Chains A and B, each alone.
Chain A
Amino acid sequence: MLSAQERAHVAQVWDLIAGHEAHFGAELLLRLFTVYPSTKTYFPHLGACQDQEHLLSHGQRMLAAVGVAVQHLDNLRAALSPLADLHGQVLRVDPSNFPLLIQCFHVVLASHLQDEFTVEMQAAWDKFLTGVAVVLTEKYR
């Protein structure tokens, strides 16, 4: 799905995030909840009260999973299978929400990386995250 060049750009983006998963993740969630309040319905405790500690810990968890995906671009389905089960059977997040999260991810990257966030990186990252979303919603029915 991703060309060699696109994989390189994905790795480039990840290099800029790695080590800062908690902070990026926390801001990602904060933006998601601020911009798209309906998404809070999927986070009963976090949505109601966004204290920094919980945002950081949940943000860390989400971005760690993204990191796993980055390491397994050749086999997303296998690598994300447990998460696909989780999203399909337990979380059941409506698929329309994934593009909202992806948009917020781009905004976090753009606002932090600024000049470093090239169009090639944005294109590859969007394709990659869209692929992750497809895998996570594949076991919905």
Chain B
Amino acid sequence: TPEEKALVIGLWAKVNVKEYGGEALGRLLVVYPWTQRFFEHFGDLSSASAIMNNPKVKAHGEKVFTSFGDGLKHLEDLKGAFAELSELHCDKLHVDPENFRLLGNVLVCVLARHFGKEFSPEAQAAYQKVVAGVANALAHKYH
């Protein structure tokens, strides 16, 4: 809905893409360690603090959040917006789409952590819808 879009975009404007992106990817790799299978070339992932401080994790997290932010400009056509990335994740990266859902949930947790009370149930609902939409868009070109 227009209200949900406004909530989502309003909050995103306050997001530190670099910091929060690195945190989200880091938390994914720590809380769901099997996701590390895609990042063995990232170097030291041996402990929670190694992961959270790993420069490659931070850089990649920033990249992911930047893409996500771009997607927010195309909420009407997420499938179109993420078509190329979908092909990449299927054909080159071979990532099980379930991982997009996990990362989406972690993204929501990171926002909750930074925004605190401001991250109302309505804000969470709007964001969970968006991350589900992005996850589906990224899975869309799988064959």
Contacts and interface: CB of A to CB of B under 8 A. Distances in A.
B91 to A, nearest CB: 29
Contacts of B124: 31, 34-35, 104, 107
B113 A103 contact: no
Interface residues of B, number: 23
B15 interface: no
A10 B41 CA distance: 31
Contacts of B59: none
B112 A123 contact: no
Contacts, number: 61
Contacts of A30: 121
Given A111-B112, A114-B114, A122 B27 contact: yes
Contacts of A16: none
Interface bin, chain A: 20 to 34
Interface in B87-143: 105, 108-110, 112-117, 119, 121-122, 124-125, 128
B125 A123 contact: no
A98 interface: no
Interface of chain A: mostly helix, strand, loop or mixed: helix
Contacts of A34: 121-122, 124-125
B49 to A, nearest CB: 9
A106 interface: yes
A120 B121 contact: no
Given A119-B26, A119-B51, 9 more contacts: A35-B124, A110-B109, A110-B119, A111-B112, A111-B116, A112-B116, A114-B114, A119-B31, A122-B109
Interface of A: 27, 30-31, 34-36, 103-104, 106-107, 110-115, 117, 119-120, 122-123, 126
